[in-house]
Structure 1
Amino acid sequence: MPSPPCAHVGAGGLFSSTSPDEASVVMLSWPISGHRTAVLGHISHRGRTMPDISGDNPYGFTMRLTEVDTTSESGSSGAPCFDGWGFSVGVLHGGDGRFSYFIPLNVVRQTLAQW
C-alpha cells in the first residue's frame, strides 16, 4: 500500500520531522463566503512567531506557528489542519493574504493542560 503524502507526520506535533515535499496538508473551514471549504497546501515554514508575521505582538503570544502556503478567509479561524493520514495536526490562527498560520496541536494540548 503506498504511503500518503505526509507519511512521516504524526498527530503529536505539526510537521516537526517532515521534509518540505512531504508536508502536504488540508484545511477544512467554514468561511463567511461559503461553507465546507477544503484547501490544499504545503508547509513553507515551521517556526514563525508573531513578530515574524506582523512585526507587532500586542498580546504577547509566544507560540511558534506553522506557515502554510494557502490563504484563509475571514471566519475561518480555528479551522482544523489535517495531515496525509487524516489526523488533525493544528488549528488555524489566521492569515496575511499570502499564507495561513496554524497553531500546532501539541501546543494546543499543552496550553489546555495548563488551564
Structure 2
Amino acid sequence: ENGCCVFCQEKMADYLCQELTMVRHTSVICRRADATEPNTPKMERVSGSVASPRLDSVIAMVFSSSRTKILPLIEGEKVFIDGKQVTSPAVQLKEGEIVSVRGMGKFRFAGSGGLSKKGRLYVYADKYV
C-alpha cells in the first residue's frame, strides 16, 4: 500500500535511509526493512477467451483493450517478455512468461485451459496490481 522497496547493498542501506527524504515534490519516510519481511507482489487473476495465445490477443484480453490499440505499443518497442524487447505481435506466449507493457502494466501468463463452444481458447494471466 502506498510504499515501495529499494534494494541496495548492505553498506548503502543506512546512507539511503538517512538521505532519502524527498521523491520529486513528495516527502518520504525511509526505513530499513527486516530481511525476513515478505515482499510478495499483489496479483489479480484475469481470464478470458482468445483465438490463440498470441502476444497481441493476450495483452488485449488482460488490459481490456483491442488488438488494434495494442499493435502500436508492440511495434513501438514498448512490450517486453521476460525483460527482452518484442516487436512481433505473433509471438506465442508460454506459461510462466512475464509480459511488461510500458504505460499499461505487467502480468504473468498463467497458461490456457479448455476450448469454448466456438473453438476459442480460455487463457489465464496474473496481473500485477
- Taking structure 1 as the reference length, the TM-score comes to 0.25
Q: Which has the higher contact order (CA 8 A, sep 6+)?
A: 1
Pick the structure with more helix per residue: 2
- Taking structure 2 as the reference length, the TM-score comes to 0.23
**Which protein has the larger Cα radius of gyration, Structure 1 or Structure 2?**
2
